[in-house]
Every structure is written in structure tokens, then in C-alpha cells.
Amino acid sequence: MYPQISLRLAIWQRNKELPRFLTQATWSWRYVIEPLDLNEAIDRIVSGIEPLPGEELVDLDTADNRVAARDVIAAVDLPPFPSSAMDGIAVAASALAGAPPFELKIVGDSRAGHPFTAAAPLAANDCIRIFTGASLPPELDCVVIQEDCEFHRDQPYARATTHVRPEPGANVRPVGHDVAAGERIISAGERLNAFSVGWLSACGETKVAVRQRPKVSIFATGDELREPGGELEPGAIFESNRILLRRMLARLPVEVADLGILPDDPAVIHDALLNAAANSDLLITSAGVSVGEADFVTDVLQRIGTLEIWRLLIKPGKPLAFGRIKDCLFFGLPGNPVSTAVTYLTVAQPALLKLCGANRAAQPEFLALLADDVQHKPGREEFQRGVLEQSGEKLIVRITGDQSSNRLASFHAANCLIRIPKAEGDLAAGTQVRVLPLGGIL
């Protein structure tokens, strides 16, 4: 980072009555920030973020996807009693001595929710009929599955014969087999999902302490942008980055405020960012972060906050900006929709998860063989969109056509990002590459 003085001709339209040609030359000095490698940028950003401290107690039904605020310790053993894993007969392993077949007297039954109650103490050769999930009386320690039994009901009492000699504990789930009372079942910082809330339920919990949801505000910027629907005048396009961001953000435990479209007007951007930052934990804008004459976002950020990182050695998404406006974290994502999506997924999402208090989880990556030749100029790590498929024993990945950063079409049908290292040149079909399944990132 080093200081640099620059002259800039900026169109300030502070007062709408002023004619647009009234422009103002501004001297500014800013720190020139060198572009960073992706991993370095992520490490710097994530390590500089403190999780929000708040927490709340929520019903398990709404806890899915939230971040656990505390460890959860099991209050009960699961299962709470020795229970049968199969349908069959419960016996004492020690009763099956000598040569088979063994003949046992059936003195009762135990069904799930209806334990056996002994009228008299059990004799050595007594057994009970038992079904999956039912509890074993203390005298019996194993289960012979019913497929290995013959049942005789034409006697004064019912009998079972079997040739099987089970080990003690066979087909029995002992107390605490799933989890023992006092064991940690959830760790603080874990992201809860269907399985974890199911497990908490099984342990008798109805609520769980989760981290507060950060407030995330989003803006699109650009004079050419119009809300979708209706007719477009010449030069205008339908705005798509806000819905793209909203839908990606919907997968995180955050509260999203969509604050609409801002014009390429530094005065308007200035006021809007200041206001939004006062009410947000993290602010995301799209577009206006590059070096064009109408790219004002980084300049405004330097006036009202700090620009900490600007430009990444990645493709697409080079002009990404990261900084702060007072206590609010700020991401200026590049405007091309593919760049917006890729930089959100690779950089903004890990930062948001840290803000949510989530432990940093390794993203699943696979090695796959390229189905196509891929063009790549060394110098930036590239994320192409691909379709990952199993082909016999191999994983094959093919690219989704033209990879220009304006083409959201390249995301359509894609199920992964292909990660092409910075130093590589063109890659021939058959080359092994690393791929990030989108299902794992989203």
C-alpha cells in the first residue's frame, strides 16, 4: 500500500437543478492498494471480522441453518433403556448352553412403548417376544432375530426354538448407544441443519441458543439498470444482481434489506451508503468498483470509510472492493452478474459466515478431468462454471459454453465452479482440475 495523488474529473450532481455539464475536478489522494490473491484476501478479511455477540433462544423448528451460540450437552442417555434393534426374542445369552437347538419358553412380550412386566422372576430358559425399539428386561441381554426362530404355539405355553447362540449384547442397543448424558452434541459455532435439530429433538430439547442474525443491506448501482418488467428504453438493461444476491443470502442466517438501485452519481451513492451503513452490519453493493469514469463506489467508500482491499487476482471478479464504513463491513462487488455471483460465493459468503459466528468449514472439493480444452491466461485464478458428472469410475467436468462474465447463461445448468490455478496456461481436455460443487458452497 502506498499513497498516490490523482486528479479526477467527477460529475457531482449534488443539486438536481444544476445542469449536468457542471462538473467538478477533484484532487484526491488515496492509498494505492495492490491486488491480492484470493486466499490471502479471504484470510485477511475473515481474520479481521469479529462475530456479532448477540444470541437468542429459538424453537428447533426455526433453528435450521442458524449458528449455535453455545455447546449443547445431552441431558439424557439415548436410548434411555437397552432396546432391541430387531424383531425376535430376547434371551439371556448364558441360558443357551450345550448343543443347539435351544428351546425357550415365551413368558411375555415387549413392544415399543409397552415394556414387558414380569409377573414372576424369569427362569433360566425363559425368553420374551420382542420388537424393534422395545426395552429388554434386566435379566435378558441379547436378541435372536425372528428369522432364526421357530415359534410353537400349540403347547400349554408358547415356545421358541433356535439353533443360534448369540453373544451377549447381540442385536441390543445399550443405554447411551447414540449419545450418553453429559456428552456434547452440538458445538458453539456449528451451523444447524435438519440432522442436528432432529438429534436435539431426540435428546428432548425443544429450543436452542443461536447467534443473532447480522443485518445485510444490498444495493445495485448503475444508470442503465431498470427493475425487470415492462419496456426498456435504449441503453437500459433489466437489473438482476439484487435478486441473485437476495436468493444466495437467503441461504444464510442473515436479515436482508434490499435498498434498490442507485444511479451512477457519487453524491447519491455517498448519502445512500452512509445511511445504509448506519443500519447494517454488512453492506453489499454491485457495480461501480472498477476504473471507469462512472465507477464511484470505491471513491465514495474512501471518503466515508476505509477501503482495505481492492482488486483480487481472480477471474471473473477482479475489481472487488472490501472495507468498512464505521462499524459496518462493506463489499463492493463487481457488476457483471457472473462476477457478482463468483465474488459473493468465494469472498463475501465466508466473511458473512464469520460475522454470523459460524466455524470456518472446509468446502468440499473434487478432482475431475476436463472434458473440453479450456483457455486460460496465467496471472489470475479463474473460476469457470461447469457441469460435473460421473463417467464410469471417473469424474468428468465440462464447461458451460462461453465464460464471459456478463453471461449468467454460463451459470445455467452449472453444478460446480472449476478452479483454474493462477499460474496455469491453457488446459487440454483430460487435464485434472479442482472443482467446487455449487451445492456445497450455497
Residues near ligand AMP (CB under 6 A): 220, 222, 224-225, 237, 239-241, 286-288, 290, 292, 334-337, 406
| Distance of alpha carbon 112 from alpha carbon 203, whole angstroms | 18
| Distance of alpha carbon 135 from alpha carbon 131, whole angstroms | 9
> With CB under 5 A, what is the number of residues at the site for Mg ion?
2
The option from Mg ion, ligand AMP, none interacting with 146 (CB < 5 to 8 A, set by class) reads none
Tell me the residue number closest to ligand AMP, measured at CB: 335
| 208 or 225: CB nearest ligand AMP | 225
| 249 or 427: CB nearest ligand AMP | 249
The option from Mg ion, ligand AMP, none interacting with 241 (CB < 5 to 8 A, set by class) reads ligand AMP
| Distance of alpha carbon 344 from alpha carbon 108, whole angstroms | 63
The option from Mg ion, ligand AMP, none interacting with 161 (CB < 5 to 8 A, set by class) reads none
The option from ligand AMP, Mg ion, none interacting with 323 (CB < 5 to 8 A, set by class) reads none
| 42 or 320: CB nearest ligand AMP | 320
The option from ligand AMP, Mg ion, none interacting with 228 (CB < 5 to 8 A, set by class) reads none
Contact indicator for 104, 55 with CB cutoff of 8 Å: no
Dig out the grid coordinates for 284 from the structure: 453489499
Q: Hey, how many other C-beta atoms are within 10 angstroms of the C-beta on 326?
A: 11
| 134 or 320: CB nearest Mg ion | 320
Task: Indicate which single residue of 222, 317, 323, 334 sits in contact with Mg ion (rule: CB under 5 A).
Answer: 222
What is the DSSP track for 79-125?
Answer: SSS-EESSSEEEE-GGG--SSSPEEEEEEEEEBTTB----SSPPPTT
Contact indicator for 225, 232 with CB cutoff of 8 Å: no
Q: How far is the CB of 246 from ligand AMP (least distance, A)?
A: 12
Q: How far is the CB of 343 from ligand AMP (least distance, A)?
A: 11
Q: How far is the CB of 236 from Mg ion (least distance, A)?
A: 12
Task: Indicate which single residue of 134, 216, 252, 287 sits in contact with Mg ion (rule: CB under 5 A).
Answer: 287
| Distance of alpha carbon 213 from alpha carbon 340, whole angstroms | 23
Q: How far is the CB of 258 from ligand AMP (least distance, A)?
A: 12
| 214 or 222: CB nearest Mg ion | 222
Contact indicator for 365, 436 with CB cutoff of 8 Å: yes
What is the DSSP track for 325-350?
Answer: ETTEEEEEE-SSHHHHHHHIIIIIHH
- Cα dist from 309 to 40, 50, 214, 289, whole Å: 11, 18, 22, 12
- Cα dist from 302 to 5, 277, 306, whole Å: 13, 14, 5
The option from ligand AMP, Mg ion, none interacting with 128 (CB < 5 to 8 A, set by class) reads none
Q: How far is the CB of 306 from ligand AMP (least distance, A)?
A: 21
Q: Which of 77, 87, 80 is nearest to 171 (CA)?
A: 87
Contact mark string toward Mg ion, 164..203, x via CB under 5 A: ----------------------------------------
Query: Taking contact as CB under 5 A, which single stretch among the options 19-27, 245-253, 287-295, 389-397 is the one that binds Mg ion?
Result: 287-295
Q: What is the dihedral of CA 58, 63, 68, 69, to 10 degrees?
A: -20
**Site residues (CB under 5 A) for Mg ion?**
222, 287
